[in-house]
Structure 1
Amino acid sequence: MPAYKRVLLKLSGEALMGDDAFGINRATIERMVAEIKEVAEMGVQIAIVIGGGNIFRGMAGGAAGMDRATADYMGMMATIMNALALQDAMKHAGVEARVQSALRLDQVVEPYIRPRAMRHLDEGKIVIFAAGTGNPFFTTDTAAALRGVEIGAEIVLKATKVDGVYSADPKKDPNATRYSTISFDEAISKNLQVMDATAFALCRDQKMPIKVFSIVKEGSLKRMVMGEDEGTLVHV
């Protein structure tokens, strides 16, 4: 039996790149969709918050010196592009998904409406939240924490390219150890960068656990929702 009934999956835009410099790697997104489909078929309700770094990275040169709010709105639109690509890949895999955006773009995606999102989840659809919170200066990490609390998710699953939270940077320190579990207070005292400060504080205040794991590892999402020792659990 799955350990969770409703989860919020935070996917970074970079996770969609595969080995490419920017953009979307089709083989990578299809593999992720296959894993999401497998977990959804187990009866787990899945909502996804997606970043836009993979697309915005390709525009980084042109964004140099740009007003921060303008750059953030461009980043929000990049998340909508990623959400549509993910929805399309799910459609081809036979998975029904809905994109809801914090920015109004009604001809392309639904606006974010909490009761509608929860109804989609109850009907077994995947819900993809795009455009972050709809406000500049807030990251998609914060959007993940906010949407997770709003829809009553049991946990935020932060998908990265690293298989958990380490005592030090594992790329620089071969002796760095992975934490299986760690409390919010411990992570703060040890200055471990789990999520941005706003998102982290919201999860702690709402007693929303966070699981950090590697989306690159095949089968990691299923192992996590089954409650196996995968990634790092950050808890109250």
Structure 2
Amino acid sequence: MSVDSSQRRRWIKENAYFRWVDDGYPDGQAVRYWLKAESEYVFSTLEAELDTIRKRQLDDLLIHRHIFHQFADATQPYVGSQDGAILADWIARNYVAYAATAVRRMLDRRRDAHSLFRLVQEVRRNCAKFTRQRMRQKYVDNFPDVASQLALEKADEMFDYAIGRPGQQVLTRRMVEADILKLEQAAQAVTNIANSWITHDNRNPAISSLNFGDLNRAIDTLESVFCRYHALVTGNKPLLPRLDDFDCTKHFQKIWSPRPP
């Protein structure tokens, strides 16, 4: 994610000014209004970026994996045989190519990239803004009809889930760096395949060169980190696609009919 510094400063300056005007021009509050406007800019930018990553990358990745698992279940009885082997190999290769590329895209480090990796880095630069108190205030403001004590309890539950440290009051740089390392380690095998197989046009890779378990673990890690940071920024878990709506089992079974007992 790339943010123009002059545009950022102009947005914060104007937002702080209008807040000051709305509050009746109070004296000696310039820093407070600036910090509040800066915080609003950071969170609104991160929220928009999360929405972009989910819609452009994560949703499709989870759907494709779900459909591939249905394909794997349908073809399991035929492993080792030549029944539909060419088609099965073609489907598997295309899924791996797509999934490996999608994982690499979500870990893109380029400054202008819309990626989970860049988003987590942006959170690291602003980690002091992610506090339990902020989450509590957000819940109290967003749910005025809910008893304040219940709102605070729900806010605490969400903050504990988001940072993974019950009782912790603020997100620390070390916590974010641990998540960055987790992303790098979980996806290393997948990004290696994407770099050598797809980017460098290796047209005949061995499908066994990438363990499907490694690929699944990488996707699980991306999903887990995305969900936690979505909760941290927005105060809510993301609405991911309903995978039950994507049932292709019967279509695969038309080609690979279950063998009689």
TM-score, normalized by length of structure 1?
0.25
Say which structure is richer in helix. 2
Say which structure is richer in strand. 1
Structure showing greater relative contact order (alpha-carbon pairs closer than 8 Å, 6 or more residues apart): 2
